[in-house]
Amino acid sequence: MNGAKDWEYSVVSFLVGKKLPSKNVKQILERKWGQVGSLSIHIVGNGVYLIIFENLQARDWVLDNGPWDVWGYHLAVRPWHKVMSLTMGECKPMPVWVKLRGVPIQFWNKLGLSYIASVLGKPLHMDMSTMNRYALLYARVCFDMNDASSFPGSITLELEDGSTTSIEVEYPWRPAACTLCKVFDHSNRSCPRVTRREWMPRPVVMAQKKPGDAEGWITVNRKGSIVDETFNR
């Protein structure tokens, strides 16, 4: 049985940090991606979708033209393979698009850009404009980013003559990462494992001197009640 053949032109996709009604997600993806051919969207569960395209060209067009979003929420998209988990919690490396500015011309090819992007994570693909060198202002590359990444703003590249040049890294979108849970669907600040200290208002306490015959004792009045002290002489 070779059931994997039925899914070879598929991608696995999920919204990062947000769950939306499946009906709306399907409608939006069909409108955005249906322009390159027919597709079928299957709900795996827990916000994960398995999307089948009619051919490899349509699938690669979606992968190469990211990043994608639904109602402003980032949509993670990665090619399906038969040993891939379809559980969102296990999708720890996150596909992230970056713009690399200042790339030397001699590195402007698949091998050179992969070498540069490997500093950030595992290179996945680049967009068509970058691949065909339509514009050399910046290169758009997608790579798998680990949740422990520090999102560096630049990369120092050593050239053949021993000199170095700085490549600027621009992130159109940065995922919220939790270093405690090792996942991308929430940040440390919103982590459910973090113990939170709640502020509780203290009762208002007012101290007043008792009349002179009390020899210095005071009456403590708490807001809403009066404590009356009587002393036996």
Mean pLDDT in the chain?
A: 78
Q: ∠ at Cα 164 (160, 170), nearest 5°?
A: 120
Q: What is the pLDDT at residue 190?
A: 60
- How far apart CA 57 and CA 63 sit, in angstroms, is 10
End-to-end CA distance of the chain: 99
Q: What is the pLDDT at residue 169?
A: 94
| pLDDT, mean of residues 16-25 | 85
Domain boundaries along the sequence of the chain: 8-90, 94-190
Q: CATH for 8-90?
A: 3.30.70.330
In this structure, what is the dihedral angle of CA atoms 142, 135, 101, 115, given to the nearest 10 degrees? 50
| Residue 113 CA from chain centroid, whole number | 23
Phi, psi of 105 (to 5 degrees): -55, -40
Q: What is the pLDDT at residue 216?
A: 47
| Sign of the CA dihedral running 160, 135, 64, 184 | positive
Confidence of residue 184 (pLDDT cuts 50, 70, 90): low
Which has more confidence, 67 or 183? 67
User: Does the pLDDT value for residue 231 go beyond 70?
Assistant: no
Q: What is the pLDDT at residue 172?
A: 83
| pLDDT, mean of residues 68-89 | 80
| pLDDT, mean of residues 58-80 | 87
Phi, psi of 115 (to 5 degrees): -65, -45
| pLDDT, mean of residues 196-208 | 51
| 8-90 against 94-190: fold identical | yes
Q: ∠ at Cα 127 (117, 173), nearest 5°?
A: 65
User: Does the pLDDT value for residue 181 go beyond 80?
Assistant: no
User: Does the pLDDT value for residue 178 go beyond 60?
Assistant: yes
Confidence of residue 112 (pLDDT cuts 50, 70, 90): very high
Using a pLDDT cut of 70, give the percent of the chain over it.
70
pTM equals 0.58
Q: CATH for 94-190?
A: 3.30.70
Confidence of residue 229 (pLDDT cuts 50, 70, 90): very low
- How far apart CA 180 and CA 191 sit, in angstroms, is 8
Which has more confidence, 207 or 72? 72
